[in-house]
Amino acid sequence: MSPFTTWDIVRNLLFAAQWTVILSLVAFIGGGVVGLLMLFARTSKRVAARRLAILYIELFQGTPLLMQLFLFFFGLSLIGFNVPPWLAAGLALTLWTAAFLAEIWRGCVEAIPRGQWEASSSLAMSYFEQMRYVVLPQALRIAVPPTVGFSVQVVKATALTSIIGFVELSKASTMITNATFQPFVVYGFAALMYFALCWPLSKSSQLLERKLNVAHRNH
Amino acid sequence: MSLIAITEVRKRFGDNEVLKGINLDVAAGEVIAIIGKSGSGKSTLLRCINGLETIDEGTILVAGAQLAPDELHLRALRLKVGMIFQSFNLFPHLTAGRNVMLSPMVVKKVPAKEAQAEAQARLEQVGLGHKFDAYPDELSGGQQQRVAIARALAMKPLALLCDEITSALDPELVNEVLQVVGKLAAEGMTLLMVTHEMRFAREVCDRVVFMHQGRVHEIGPPEEVFGAPKTLELQQFLGIA
């Protein structure tokens, strides 16, 4: 009989799940801020800004998150920065999230009819004024469901950071399994915890989608 | 001196030259209708005047402000000319009043109170003072277009460009918009409008421009253009050839 009770396992998993939540929040909020900057660059009239944003987005969308984590963790220490796992994980996930959010939001901005841009242009508004007062308020409404939906991906993606030694839910599961030799129980609970985090998010995304679509009112 | 001076303007979309050297001077207070078949370049010309389209050659001057592609020049130019569109293009997330208030507050930094009073006055001018708090989707097409006119007027432009502003309206709603435009014309607003409302053009305009294949084909007072069209193309367009 194992010296570990089920409660021992759950307790330790719950403790580690905190870090999954924190990392998800950091990635999502940080990614939101960087993503917004990238959105402005990506939809800018300046060719250089647009190219830079496209390069950034394609780089982060076109390589596995795992490679990005490795590069941040090992790469930065190669050039003399000793990055702890939490920092590498936070940075990589933030930038990865930003690349996807920028593209999701670009789709929403481009869904706003051209007439809105033309009308605000002919009222002498600048690009930022158009975005701030005319386009983003409308784009926000259609952006909510896919954005919330993507947050599910972010939560699940945090599991990858276990590979660089960041102790979140997945890493903790492996460690506890090594001690208890009860992989099915441990990973089963871990999966349940992921589900408990993700399911409400995807459910609310569906609800929001229905609510915003069915009503389809603009105010 | 003319308010709007268009000189030798050329515009190409790829290989297709849609404006082939346009010259047109518009005096302050003048009301001009631009007529012609679709594809004749009339909407493009209008959209070039406030920089919604770039021009390939020639110059456009509005009260001394020159059309140039950079944001500073465009802003200066667009402060002088307003534009009204076929599809209204009201901001759907804002009330009628807020639609009118937005640009004065954002672009000209007019205080909210002042902007609100101005918006109320402009809405009353187009007969919609009571619709300040209505959202665009609660208004009829004709009402929406009148709000769009009020919105353009709130920026106190020297001239208004009207791009087929009644073409998307049900027939019974056309008149309420034309009445507002007619009143503006009578009050001395400089108007440049692309229109299919020949009767209105005849009654209200000082000059009529007939565009054909990217050129100003015939131009003159409405009596001449409608009464005694010189060219075969205009006669055909008016259906009297």
Q: What is the DSSP string of B82-141?
A: EEE-TT----TTS-HHHHHHHHHHHHS---HHHHHHHHHHHHHHTT-GGGTT--GGGS-H
- What letter does residue B57 receive in the DSSP assignment? E
What distance in Å separates residue B78's CA from the closest CA in chain A? 5
Q: What angle do CA A10, A13, A17 make, to 5 degrees?
A: 135
Nearest CA in chain A to B133: A219
Q: A119: distance to nearest CA of chain B, Å?
A: 6
Percent of chain A with pLDDT over 90: 77
Mean pLDDT of chain A: 91
Distance from CA of B238 to the nearest CA of A (A): 31
Helix (H, G, I), strand (E, B) or coil at B210: strand
CB atoms B93 and A119 under 8 Å: no
User: Residue A1: is its pLDDT beyond 80?
Assistant: no
pLDDT on residue A3:
78
Q: Report the residue from A113, A121, A129 with minimal CB separation from B106.
A: A129
Task: Check CB contact under 8 Å for B103 and A134.
Answer: no
- Per the CB < 8 Å rule, is B75 touching A116? no
Q: What is the pLDDT of residue B127?
A: 95
What does the alpha-carbon distance between residue B210 and residue B220 come to, in Å, rounded to a whole number? 9
CA dist B172 to A10, A176, B131, B150, B169, Å? 71, 76, 20, 21, 8
Percent pLDDT > 90 in chain B is 92
Structural domains of chain A ordered from first start: 6-215 (1.10.3720.10)
Residue A213 pLDDT greater than 70, yes or no: no
What is the average per-residue pLDDT within B103-109?
Answer: 97
Instruction: Decide if A217 touches B, using CB distance below 8 A.
Output: yes
Residue B156: closest CA among B200, B108, B194: B108
Q: What is the mean pLDDT of residues B220-238?
A: 93
pLDDT in tens, B171-220: 999 999 999 999 999 999 999 999 999 999 999 999 999 999 999 999 99
Q: Mind telling me how many Å the CA of B10 is from chain A's nearest CA?
A: 21
Chain B residues with CB-CB distance to A133 below 8 A: 102, 106
Determine the longest span between alpha carbons in chain B, in angstroms: 57
User: What does the pLDDT average to over A88-101?
Assistant: 96
CB-side exposure of B7: number of CA atoms within 13 Å? 10
CA of B48: which chain A residue's CA is closest? A122
* B172 min Cα distance to partner chain A (Å): 24
Per-residue pLDDT band for A215 (boundaries 50, 70, 90) equals very low
Q: Which of A143, A51, A159, A163 is nearest to A100 (CA)?
A: A143
Q: What is the mean pLDDT of residues A132-155?
A: 92
d(CA A104, CA A158): 20
Report the residue of chain A nearest B153, measured CA to CA.
A123
pLDDT score at A205? 85
Q: How many residues does chain B have?
A: 241
pLDDT for res A45: 85
Q: Which of A159-173, A196-210, B150-164 has the highest mean pLDDT?
A: B150-164
Q: List A residues 47-66 in contact with B (Cβ-Cβ < 8 A).
A: none
Could you read off the pLDDT of A23-68 as tens digits, one per residue? 999 999 999 999 999 999 999 888 999 999 999 999 999 999 999 9
Across the interface, do B103 and A116 touch by the CB < 8 Å criterion?
no
